[in-house]
Amino acid sequence: MRLITLCVAISLVSTIADASSKKIICYFGSWSVYRPGNGQFDINGIDPTLCTHLIYSFVGVEGNDIKILDSWSDLPRNLDGFGKFVSLRKKNPSLKIMIAVGGWNAGSVPFSKMASNQAQREAFAKNAVKFLEQYQFDGLDIDWEYPAQRGGVKADVKNFVKLAAALKKAFAPHGYILSTAVAAPESSVSQSYDIIGMSQYFDFINLMEYDFHGYWDGHTGMNAPLFASSSDSGNELKLNIEASVNYWVKNGAPREKLILGIPTYGKSFTLSNPRNKGVGAPSNVKGTAGPYTREPGILGYNEICEIFKAGGWKIYQDNERGVPYAVKGNQWVSFDDIPAIKAKAEFIKQERLGGAMIWSIETDDFKGICGEKYPILKALNSVLGSEISKNSNLRVWKKKQNKFTTSTPTTTSFVEDLPETLKESDRSSGNGECTFVGQFIINPSNCGFFVCDHDGIGGFRKIPGACPAGLCFNPTYQRCDWK
């Protein structure tokens, strides 16, 4: 009994320490300073208390050196993006300011050529140190998309590890951080990465857990599903966050180095037949471009919340995949609402990962047009960075029996697990409708319950929960109880 008690105590201490050390990595797309209207982003408007790391995107690779891609935006003589970015440390001295090299538009070939021999790798590492010193960044994020793909060669897999080793060696005397952004699903990871080899050199690894589906599929699909659906089969079972994280861990990635990427944008489609509008509905055309991102097939969260406010959209919750989608006429969009963001944050805690990453900060609702500023970032912080999340077992979302359920010990009262401010007020309503976040409502159809949360557009959604076998939800005592 003493051994069991000791193990439980150690586990609790470990869990609290783990929660307090979660990273929240915020990428910034520097081109957003040119967007029109409410989409135009001002670096000075970043709240530096909401991120542990800020990453400026992007600079490029030119030979063995780092190339500035937009001198007008980045350098002091004009918009001074670099200077404004690093000056955010004044508001939060513990904030780490980094810069990303590469990105999708950079392709794979420049990295492949540079990393192909030791002399070039070492020259690049030396030049990277000079760059970080000159512009006062705390580290470098390698966004090579992707080794051994898109014009790269098979040797890229090993050369990527060697490049990381050269950079780590050069960075060590200066204390610079080295991270990387990587593909998430097995289909791409298996081609590009020696997971064990690379993991020893990177301080953290940003999993790009989005773009699982798009117009290229020929049908609608979720941008960033948390889980597979019961209707999925074949390779589709691997195109979700749970499966991809499991693949990285199974193949040797340390959990504490894995940072779960969360999109602040949705993937949009134009339906072939507006009457056929579910997941998997025929579509091979991108959705209409938004007013700020101005890219067909993509809608920023800030654009989504604004067009929802204008009306006409119907939102559907997919409780199996853990993310919603919305339809208006022939337009279809998969996106992450606030409850989905929180569920992913709880998944991070449940899987003992290193933290969360967002791509990218400038498509959060940074101006607060639809409510509070930075709702996505604040939702992540509410779970990963607050005392409330450390003490609450109610918010651990798992997939059981093809639906979200809450993780609740059969001998523990719901009320005991809630923060003090919620214990006395959170009771089930008489009419079965939500009136506040955190409210419990009995589900008479299955002996379970619902937990009320924001729906991301100013209202509420009811998230279903199930009691363990043989128990039913007791609204009087706010817990699962014997029948």
Q: Which residues are catalytic?
A: 145
Is 217:243 a contact under the CB 8 Å cutoff?
A: no
Task: Over range 362-381, report the average pLDDT.
Answer: 97
Peptide bond into 71 cis (omega under 30): no
Q: Is the pLDDT confidence value at 441 over 70? A: yes
C-alpha to C-alpha distance for 220 and 445, rounded to whole angstroms: 31
Q: Are 99 and 49 in contact, with CB atoms under 8 Å apart?
A: no
Question: Residue 479 — pLDDT band, cuts 50, 70, 90?
Answer: low
pLDDT tens digits for 228-250? 999 999 999 999 999 999 999 99
Q: How high is the pLDDT of residue 450?
A: 81
Q: What is the mean pLDDT of residues 78-93?
A: 97
| C-alpha neighbours within 13 Å on the C-beta side of residue 158 | 5
d(CA 26, CA 50): 9
Q: What is the pTM of this model?
A: 0.79
Q: At what angle do helices 156-171 and 118-135 cross, to 10 degrees?
A: 40
Which residues, 6+ apart, have CB-to-CB distance to 259 below 8 Å?
23, 25, 204, 205, 206, 207, 353, 354, 355, 356, 357
E strands present in 7-93: 23-29, 53-62, 65-67
Euclidean distance between CA atoms 385 and 369, whole angstroms: 24
How far is it, in rounded angstroms, from Cα 245 to Cα 249? 6
User: Residue 245, CB half-sphere, CA atoms under 13 Å: how many?
Assistant: 29
**What is residue 219's DSSP assignment?**
B
